[in-house]
Chain A
């Protein structure tokens, strides 16, 4: 070991170390230990060790590539999470040097390894006074054995590049060349009481008060939000407990305070001693009571302005613990989704035509309120539950360490999603059309004759006139399909009213030149992946692993279904609005030819109730009025667009933009599907596509997973994809590299250039130069030389 660059330093010897070498958390604990505060035994793995690891494994360049793929400002949160996952995988699949392994082994021998160990991040930039990025980096508790400690160390190192840290990359000044991470390895302290304490009121900054919180058990219960703590407000000067607030804990039989007053005052004394010794007001994590009170962590309290970026704050809430995920799973799967389903069914069954105007107004208001309520639930509860899939990703990768960090995605396949069931029903109808020539020809004729104006009622009559049994069956199944799956809103249009599009899709799927893409995952391959995970975690953790897989699957399924179920609810609102608008139009109380949207609910309901109300203006949406202008600069065309390689394979085809309901029926087999984001409402088009290009990025979004399932190349996260590509563009989608190439590699302009025009500028080469060249060339030829 290089004595100038130690890889490991005992905590007791680290009090005078540079924060850049052992990080803020470790330094403060080392200083507390040196000042005789009771802290857990431990050692620091220095930033030199981190540096040596990334240099040995040439990780810096890969991080740079990952973060430079596109501007970080253009990355969606899902893409940031993906980048962090790939970086994490990079750390996991490389080993620590033998030297570091020996050093850690030796340091562990000074700890009580009969108890679990905590491996905690100690970033040089994390705990700087005045700013706090606590929680952005990982800490792993309950670790046993040298190998597990080294694994945990790499995970903590990787968390320097966690999704949360990348969100705060500017504040943290993250730079692959400069940023470092130290790690603190400590004995875990187990006590019946733990908590946090602040030398002032952290919410108001009031320095007359100290705030102390306690939970019955380890501090992680409080930090992870799993247990509501008791809380004391204490006057620092008089040392009087001013208030005690009991935590709300179901299982807390004893309703009295968790800490006796002397315990509270002991914690206060410790806070004040730290403040006196280090001259900063502490924010402390503690464990144990009375003489066994141990300081787990202390840093300057932060009472500054909270982060005002709501999106980042919101994102940080999307990282629930396993216990919270299980709770969310029960709530979403067993309560919310069934409720949402039932509400949609109930509203769909209502006969709105039988309502009088007042009843219709009430129905509109009721539906509007229902949509708003479920949108809120969607944001507050459904989206956070999406973390179940991400938890499966990290769990699988931590245990299996696959070369492809998205190998786990196969575990999500073959789930009975509503969209999958719908797509199967569509495929079955297409198969009937493929096999029945009469039906095929009839459908083809119908769609040719009534292009753009097909009315299902007249189509049904026409089908009925044939008196052919197979055709009657098709009509019946088609109507069942639309009833069951198409009563949803896409692009503010009820797909139930756009049967022509679906019939065109069916006809296209039925084209005889080969089967459309089908799921590539066999149940055997999924089983094999499950076995791989179970073998990697070991027998003791089988139940835990199965639970993580199940939660991931339920999360994936419900996060797809919820979109369709909310879209079904929106469809019920739109249905009521359309009936209302029709009535008001008959009465001449609507001006303009626009279609109603959710935003018109209030005015339409008011107008239906009050016949004297001012007529409503219903204008066409701006998009319908003015076609969008091309945004490219003159003479500029993209040749290669870069995104994320979301599903492997290479395909070339004609681009087809799907941006609204009217585009659904135009999609032809073999075209490249270009859209802003593939939604569950339109996944039935995917089997027709030769490839997919999406603006929205992410490896776990609908389009990416369906493309992988069907084996279709997909590149997503392509900035401005729908602006930069146009219908009919020849595009090659490279799903291995994440590249979309436009056009063929031609030189038509160069070959076309009229050189005679260029020649006009040319005068004969000066006599001297021409003569000199001839002479030199002759000499060179004579001596067998080449001119350079």
Chain B
């Protein structure tokens, strides 16, 4: 009886398994179609909503943008990016039920040869209505090497997950 003051509701609580953060991130990025892409340039941060898809191992994300855009220009100058994905639209009245994930990484512009088709198919697979857009000559496809995820739940509960290979 080391702790006399521990009367109840605790059996099984103290050592319960922590739900997998990776699993929750996977579920969120799989179920949410759009993310806020955060870029920077000329000392100015900038955000834009993009359709995205993640690779199965969550180490890469892909998105497309017309080349005549501010984000394309900023990405050409600085490839450090962040993605914010959340489910707030499903829980407008329930702050505590909202989950969000911020993924950080570096983007690379994919050329039309090489892996372009593979990543384009991944994006189009998730967003079939964007096929023409993605494959348009004036559209650029960016691949993001994800360095880490920061998952937020219950307003303030934050966990970091680093996909294998970056730690």
Contacts and interface: CB of A to CB of B under 8 A. Distances in A.
Interface residues of A, number: 80
A97 interface: no
A223 B140 CA distance: 75
A104 interface: no
Contacts of B93: 61, 64, 177
Contact of A749 (B1, B159, B162): B162
A379 B80 CA distance: 59
Contact of B111 (A633, A677, A763): A763
Contact of B22 (A177, A636, A720): A636
A381 interface: no
A753 B156 contact: no
A65 interface: yes
B154 interface: yes
A58 to B, nearest CB: 12
B157 A642 contact: yes
Nearest to B95: A65
B4 to A, nearest CB: 5
A491 interface: yes
Interface stretch (A245-253, A388-396, A459-467, A772-780): A772-780
A298 B70 CA distance: 72
A349 interface: no
Contacts of B21: 633, 636
B68 A677 contact: no
B156 A637 contact: no
B27 interface: no
A9 to B, nearest CB: 30
Interface stretch (B31-39, B126-134, B144-152): B144-152
A776 B96 contact: no
Given A765-B111, A776-B67, A753 B106 contact: yes
A787 interface: yes
Contacts of B95: 61, 64-65, 68
B93 to A, nearest CB: 7
Contacts of A737: 156
Interface residues of B, number: 67
B14 interface: yes
Contacts of B104: 747, 750
A635 B164 contact: yes
Contact of B137 (A64, A637, A764, A766): A766
A734 to B, nearest CB: 9
A68 B106 contact: no
Contact of B14 (A720, A724, A772): A720
B43 interface: no
Contacts of A447: none
A68 B96 CA distance: 5
B18 A64 contact: no
B76 to A, nearest CB: 8
Given A633-B21, A755-B106, A570 B114 contact: no
Contacts of B155: 65, 68, 642
Contacts of A763: 110-114, 116
A765 B140 contact: yes
Interface string A369-390: 0010001001100010000000
B163 A635 contact: yes
B100 to A, nearest CB: 13
A69 B154 CA distance: 7
B54 to A, nearest CB: 15
B40 to A, nearest CB: 12
A702 B1 CA distance: 17
Contact of B2 (A64, A68, A492): A492
Interface string B41-74: 0000000000000000000000000011110110
Nearest to A559: B5
A69 B96 contact: yes
A678 to B, nearest CB: 10
B156 A739 contact: yes
Contact of A758 (B106, B116, B137, B159): B106
Contact of B166 (A676, A701, A753, A755): A753
A311 B121 CA distance: 55
Contacts of B80: 750
Contacts of A764: 111
Interface stretch (A108-116, A147-155, A198-206, A560-568): A560-568
Nearest to B136: A769
B4 A641 contact: no
A375 B2 CA distance: 11
B138 interface: yes
Contacts of A478: none
Contacts of B161: 635-637
A68 B1 contact: no
A379 B109 CA distance: 67
B14 A695 contact: yes
A696 B5 CA distance: 10
Nearest to B96: A68
Contacts of B7: 77, 314, 379, 383
Nearest to A74: B13
Interface string B89-113: 0000111110000001110111111
A437 interface: no
A232 interface: no
A762 B143 CA distance: 9
B20 A633 contact: yes
A345 to B, nearest CB: 19
A238 interface: no
B2 A636 contact: no
Contacts of A634: 164
A758 B109 CA distance: 10
Nearest to A311: B8
Given A68-B96, A758-B145, A76 B9 contact: yes
Nearest to A777: B73
Contacts of A633: 18, 20-22
A566 B150 contact: no
A65 B96 contact: yes
Interface string A667-701: 00000000011010000000000000001100001
A191 to B, nearest CB: 40
Contacts of A304: none
A723 interface: yes
A768 B8 CA distance: 70
B119 to A, nearest CB: 9
A773 B72 contact: yes
Contacts of A750: 80, 104-106, 147-148
Contacts of A371: 1
Contact of B8 (A64, A314, A776): A314
A758 B4 contact: no
Contact of B160 (A311, A490, A639): A639
Report the 6 A-B pairs with minimum CB-CB distance, sorted nearest first: A763-B111, A68-B96, A640-B158, A639-B158, A311-B8, A773-B67
Given A720-B16, A761-B110, 17 more contacts: A61-B95, A64-B95, A68-B96, A76-B10, A76-B13, A177-B93, A375-B1, A490-B2, A638-B160, A642-B156, A677-B5, A695-B14, A723-B15, A750-B147, A763-B113, A765-B140, A787-B69
Interface of B: 1-10, 13-18, 20-22, 67-70, 72-73, 79-80, 93-97, 104-106, 108-116, 137-140, 143, 145, 147-148, 150, 152, 154-164, 166-167
23 contacts: A61-B95, A69-B96, A315-B8, A383-B7, A490-B2, A563-B4, A635-B164, A636-B20, A637-B159, A638-B158, A639-B158, A701-B5, A750-B80, A753-B105, A759-B108, A763-B116, A766-B112, A766-B137, A769-B137, A772-B67, A786-B70, A787-B70, A788-B70
